[in-house]
Amino acid sequence: MRRLLGIVILFAATAASAGTFTLHEAIEYARPAGTPLLLDLRVPDGPGPHPVLVYLHSGAWISGDRTGGPALRQATRGYAVASVDYRLAPQHIWPAQVEDAKAAVRWIRANARQYNLDPNRIGMFGASAGGHIGSILGTSGGVPSLEGAALGNSQYSSRVKVVVDYYGPTDLLKIEEQKLPCIPLDGNASYMPPSLLMGCPIQECKERTATANPITYITPDDPPFLIVQGLLDCLTPYKQSVMLHDALVATGVDSTLVLVPNGEHGGRAFDEAKYKQMVDEFLDEKLRGPLVKRRRSVRK
């Protein structure tokens, strides 16, 4: 701890002082229409309050669950990690998924004291479909139509401080024209995940589909983004990430785009040490940071 001109700077826990964590499993954070939505919460052992990452899983909006994922290792680095289940298509169509993510953020703020969490340092981390949902959560702060306030804790904000987006789609209407030749399926077909998510063939409901594009909601006060995308991705064209990054930068939002030359849709390329380090450094700078508490100057 250092005292400078009446400002006390309390540095957050480092990886060396964290290391271990306590797992709280299957916590219910919302119950839409009687369906329990669960999260697993990993809380670092040691002093807090701890910065939090909300992790949203992959699965093309139609499958997957809260187990596993690239964000979980951050629990050994001093970050609490809330790995979240959200409602899946086609049974639940858009915007149920982002409503669930926002409800999870609000739940964390409402229960921060109980679990030794810092309500002012909450970040979003998503992969594939989860990256898409997390990006929209990041850009749509204050948009009532996506808030899902009925899911609870509406007195709390669902805004986040950072977004880490691993190869998430951006503009569903352009996936087919931007895709690499390694996937022969028609991205606009009614049986494909984008249309299942929207509940309609996307090219026949363009206005509705635009509500699932994070670019629609970008404003200059959006949080910093780290976007990581493989150039060999057959499912999410890398141009989707380029579009999002360019739109963020053009609006004055802090955005970093990392294109992985040998990266596909996930896989071992993203586990290379240099890419993990990029994520760690981004989170440590933009989310963990020093906690600054102002006090009146003390005369000597």
Q: What is the pLDDT of residue 290?
A: 63
User: Which residues, in sequence order, are CB contacts of 218 under 8 Å at separation 6+?
Assistant: 139, 247, 248, 251, 253
Q: What is the pLDDT of residue 269?
A: 94
User: Which residues, in sequence order, are CB contacts of 194 under 8 Å at separation 6+?
Assistant: 169, 172, 175, 187, 188, 202, 209
- Please answer whether residues 101 and 139 qualify as being in contact, where contact means their C-beta atoms are separated by less than 8 angstroms: no
Q: How far apart are CA 204 and CA 215, in angstroms?
A: 20
Q: How far apart are CA 44 and CA 19, in angstroms?
A: 7
Q: For the whole model, what pTM was predicted?
A: 0.90
Residue 196, both tokens = 């299942």
Across all residues in the chain, what is the average pLDDT?
A: 91
Q: What is the pLDDT of residue 225?
A: 98
Least confident piece of the model among 99-108, 258-267, 287-296: 287-296
Per-residue model confidence as pLDDT tens digits over 109-143? 999 999 999 999 999 999 999 999 999 999 999 99
Q: How far apart are CA 161 and CA 167, in angstroms?
A: 20
Per-residue model confidence as pLDDT tens digits over 33-79? 999 999 999 999 999 999 999 999 999 999 999 999 999 999 999 99
The number of residues in the chain equals: 300
15 has pLDDT over 50 = no
12 has pLDDT over 90 = no
Confidence of residue 175 (pLDDT cuts 50, 70, 90): very high
Q: What is the pLDDT of residue 228?
A: 98
Name the helix (H) or strand (E) containing 138. helix 129-139
Per-residue model confidence as pLDDT tens digits over 269-279? 999 999 999 99
Average pLDDT over residues 234-245: 97
247 has pLDDT over 80 = yes
Average pLDDT over residues 216-229: 98
Q: What is the pLDDT of residue 183?
A: 84
Q: What is the pLDDT of residue 184?
A: 82
Name the helix (H) or strand (E) containing 81. strand 80-84
Q: What is the pLDDT of residue 7?
A: 27
